[in-house]
Structure 1
């Protein structure tokens, strides 16, 4: 089984945001993934929806044995387990969330499906908070 280098972005804007991010990282680690690097916490305004709840975000580099879709299923299960009730891909819009985990890069793979786009174009090129978090990762 080969290891894949993956960049993740995590965000939370409900409850104890830093604790939520740390808990999500623990779930990722317990799933058999190695966490190589974690950025500092960054607060940001909600993007593409209106909310009075500020986000706390981090970026992380992990090594995983999972395929892109297996990894997506795994991180979605973490979101549900932590109490996330709506997924923006399913609902068609953004809302406050206890945790959000996005796959930004997966090795050098270019992949697009109905559920996943790698690399994640919005995080790499459009969102200011993402560019700040990812600046030391590439």
Structure 2
């Protein structure tokens, strides 16, 4: 089984945000290997109004899962942790206990109804994402 390096962004703005992210990372590590993590970063909500500040982190994982299998796995983590709405489905951003986005999957370019890789908003449009990814990549030659 071949392994793939994948960049994920995790965020939370409900409850103990840092603990929520750490819980999600622990659940990810049950199936994937976490290779690198950025520092934690707090940021204002993007594309919706909320008084809840986000805590975010970027990570590089190694996984044998296909992109869709990985998407299903991270969505299951989100639901298991209590996430009630999926913005991909509802098209509306809301507060969330955990959000896990697949930003890059090796050098793969992939588009489906459920998933687009690379996640161009995180790579090019969102300031907090650029800060996290810069921090992540300065720690590695990946």
Q: TM-score range by the shorter chain?
A: over 0.9
CA–CA distance in structure 1, aligned partners of residues 89 and 68 of structure 2: 16
Displacement after TM superposition at 1:92 (Å): 1.1
Once residues 24 and 37 of structure 2 are traced to their aligned partners in structure 1, the CA distance between those partners, rounded to angstroms, is 12
Q: What is the 5 A alignment of 1:1-138?
A: 1-30=1-30, 32-136=31-135, 137=137
Normalised by the length of structure 1, the TM-score is 0.98
Secondary structure, aligned partner of 1:109: coil
Runs (4 or more) in structure 1 with deviation over 2 Å come to none
Q: CA deviation at 1:100?
A: 0.0
Give me the whole-angstrom Cα distance separating, in 2, the residues matched to 1:7 and 1:76: 16
Q: Give me the whole-angstrom Cα distance separating, in 1, the residues matched to 2:4 and 2:133.
A: 18
CA separation in 1, counterparts of 2:91 and 2:131? 26
**RMSD, aligned CA:** 0.7
- Name stretches of at least 5 consecutive residues in structure 2 with no aligned partner: none
The whole-number CA distance in structure 2 between the counterparts of 1:91 and 1:125 is: 23
Shift of 1:39: 0.6
SS of residue matched to 1:135 = helix
Task: Give the secondary-structure state (helix, strand or coil) at the position aligned to 2:93.
Answer: coil
Structure 1 alignment gaps of length 5 or more:
none
Task: State the TM-score, normalizing by the size of structure 2.
Answer: 0.95
Q: Distance in 2 between matches of 1:134 and 1:44?
A: 14
What per-residue deviation string (whole Å, max 9, x for no partner) do you get for residues 27-57 of structure 1?
Answer: 0001x21000011000000000000000000
